[in-house]
Chain A
């Protein structure tokens, strides 16, 4: 089974220093001692056994080090026989591209010519601002700065327990481009009820009625228990689920509100496949 004859490298193996040599390196820790010589031999054997089960054959333990009395750290090199078939690789798609803060700022500046206004809140009785703060505070989340960090985004964070009518009024007063609502509490599906109520309020509000001076802001909800494909059912434009980072939200806002040509649209986004996890 040799890898790549004539198939234009559809099937590949790891490359150490020769095509097809399959050489890889891994490091791991096992909860075994290696203080005495005997312990150390047992530990090394344990590492080799794990490497073998991981498919490294032959495997070679390059480094063994005791970490305290009960643990041992290993660096192992080995050869894997596995083949990677590139035709079977699938790429998770996201309808918008991940952008860096500088790219988001640039997009907003060139498409809107002013700051993009985001009003954020926890609505209903939900007092858990952890989620909305992780997205909005400069401090941010998961190594990414929050929306306040973006020079071209103006953030109005209303905090917790904001009544829906107050949110609508404030969004109108601030001429919000987007409204971000976070819901953590899910008792009796409160997060779904509140999201629907919020969406209905914005859609029925005279301030944002067709023909009025204000355009209805983009409605975005987020929280750990939301299913990301529930936007239509809830009547909002976008739903973010568990593990969402500020960079994703910013990229989405730039995509939905500051796409290069034409006015901002809260209409359904065109499906555009982008590789997931590109750098933010």
Chain B
């Protein structure tokens, strides 16, 4: 799968160097700050679950109480485990209840007491990470006992709002051929500064991401995986204000892939840029440990901007996502970089342009499990025309060796898919795969496709240079991505950003940073053939 476009390796290297230059100052920010959600994620790893009578999670109440009393700039761990020891509370939940009632005095322990608090905190957090490790091993065992599907993995979405409706739909979709099930979240969950609790039966255009919902769906898909003799992966969204916590819950409950983009929340949800980058680094460290494949959201840029004019912004974002991901410890096989088939079909040679873009991305990131998104913007309500467009999308996906294929629905934009829509969509994929799955082998791009790919890469390098000169946060503030200006000092969640004090201590970060990327038998859906 290499070398059809004859890309200049020096230029590719230059693009990566520029992405690193643009990203490094932001990484520094992430290393010197924490957020409310990162501190809550530590408590979640340490086993604190559940909520008070109003549904507010104990992790929020406890972290809030610590913040009110000694601040979070030293991390939540020292004051919490000191209070646990001093107050003689049997567990974190009891402490959280007392703290929420204003009954607990927190302090920053020193000397022997500090060492004691550290020791206990580390022990509890290590237990949580051991669960994450066990889940990763369980995934590997499940795959060994069943079978890893052949790429491209077929990715289907369910979203009824009710986890108990989602489950049979997901199982049916898996039986119909889906390799990956994504449960879309309820509208607006990304803006909640807490993770709802328990099994949920009501959502808006999606189902809430909760620990219990994760566990229920994973158990159901395990059952179906055994039935089918094929491991069915589960996906959700580590994004929004609770990104670090959701990533943690995903690791604890063995989700397999997570949507996790470095800039999506900033651009599309008006979440503070600094908060997003700090949260993102922690969440990616957890994903790295858990063996989770991340999916990035570059397809979104093409829904707001023109897919030809903005093609290079996709590449720029992919390179930034790659830099941030590798820096946080993810391995290349975990980088489900996103892109999409969104060129206006009325544009002459639109399919050739799509091939140029898809092939470029394939060659830029040969080891990454690329996620290819179907047309949405030019799905008009003419379901017959839409079915044809989806077939061309599938063809482009197979021809250019994409790794994760989100299945397009002919009724996109009309309603949430009917049962029959999903079945027809899978029939479309099967036809293209069986008829032309190996077409990529005999496809040689002509001059038009090659020069278009080169042009996009050149434009990406130009934009990366500008971003590096200007600073990534300034570029985002100027409206470089999407169409909206997102200044670094505005947006949601800024009040949850805290500069680390001297002596800041976070046992989870300490342990995760110490994690060397683990060699794994479970690879991503790579097209590189050689996966033993």
Contact = CB atoms under 8 A, between A and B. Distances in A.
A129 B188 contact: yes
| Max count, chain A CB within 10 A of own CB: residue among B267, B304, B482 | B304
B204 interface: yes
Nearest to A74: B420
A29 B419 contact: yes
B268 A139 contact: yes
Given A130-B188, A139-B269, A145 B420 contact: no
Nearest to B383: A27
Contact of A71 (B269, B304, B419): B419
A60 interface: no
Interface string B395-438: 00000000000000000010000111001100000000000000
B281 interface: no
B423 A137 contact: no
A40 interface: no
Contacts of B420: 27-29, 67, 73
A138 B187 contact: no
B483 interface: yes
B188 A138 contact: no
Nearest to A157: B270
Nearest to B300: A139
Contacts of A137: 268-270
A130 B185 CA distance: 13
A254 interface: no
Contacts of B304: 138, 145, 149
Most chain B CB neighbours (cut-off 10 Å) among A65, A71, A134, A143: A143
A134 B270 CA distance: 12
Interface in B457-486: 482-484
Interface residues of A, number: 23
Interface in B464-513: 482-484, 492
A7 to B, nearest CB: 31
Contact of B482 (A133, A138, A143): A138
B219 interface: no
A134 B418 CA distance: 24
A186 to B, nearest CB: 16
A159 interface: yes
A67 B483 CA distance: 42
A195 B376 CA distance: 37
A68 B175 contact: yes
B215 interface: no
Interface string A129-166: 11001100111010101001101000001010000000
Most B CB contacts (10 A, CB to CB) among A137, A139, A148, A151 go to A139
B523 interface: no
A133 B191 contact: yes
A262 B492 CA distance: 38
Contacts of B268: 137-139
A68 B482 CA distance: 41
B204 A67 contact: no
A73 B424 CA distance: 10
B29 interface: no
B176 interface: yes
Contact of A138 (B376, B419, B483): B483
Nearest to A143: B413
B191 A129 contact: yes
A119 to B, nearest CB: 14
A1 B411 CA distance: 37
B303 to A, nearest CB: 8
Contacts of A73: 419-420, 423-424
Contacts of A139: 268-269
Interface string B278-315: 00000000000000000000000001100000000000
Interface string A253-264: 000000000000
A49 B188 CA distance: 43
Contacts of B418: 29
A134 B187 contact: yes
Given A27-B420, A67-B420, A138-B268, A130 B187 contact: yes
B228 interface: no
A138 B476 CA distance: 14
B172 interface: yes
Given A138-B483, A139-B269, A67 B419 contact: yes
Interface string A68-103: 100101000000000000000000000000000000
Contacts of B492: 159
A76 to B, nearest CB: 13
Contacts of A143: 376, 413
Q: Which of A134, A138, A159 has the most CB of B within 10 A?
A: A138
A28 B424 CA distance: 12
B189 to A, nearest CB: 10
A148 B483 contact: yes
A192 to B, nearest CB: 23
Nearest to A130: B188
Complex A-B, nearest 5 residue pairs according to Cβ-Cβ distance, in ascending order: A130-B188, A139-B268, A73-B420, A67-B423, A29-B420
Interface of B: 172, 175-176, 187-188, 191, 204, 267-270, 303-304, 376, 413, 418-420, 423-424, 482-484, 492
Given A67-B176, A137-B269, A149-B304, 6 more contacts: A65-B423, A68-B172, A68-B176, A129-B188, A138-B482, A157-B270
27 contacts: A27-B420, A29-B418, A67-B419, A67-B423, A68-B175, A71-B419, A73-B423, A73-B424, A129-B188, A129-B191, A130-B187, A130-B188, A130-B204, A133-B188, A133-B269, A133-B270, A137-B268, A137-B269, A137-B270, A138-B267, A138-B268, A138-B482, A138-B483, A139-B268, A143-B376, A148-B270, A149-B484
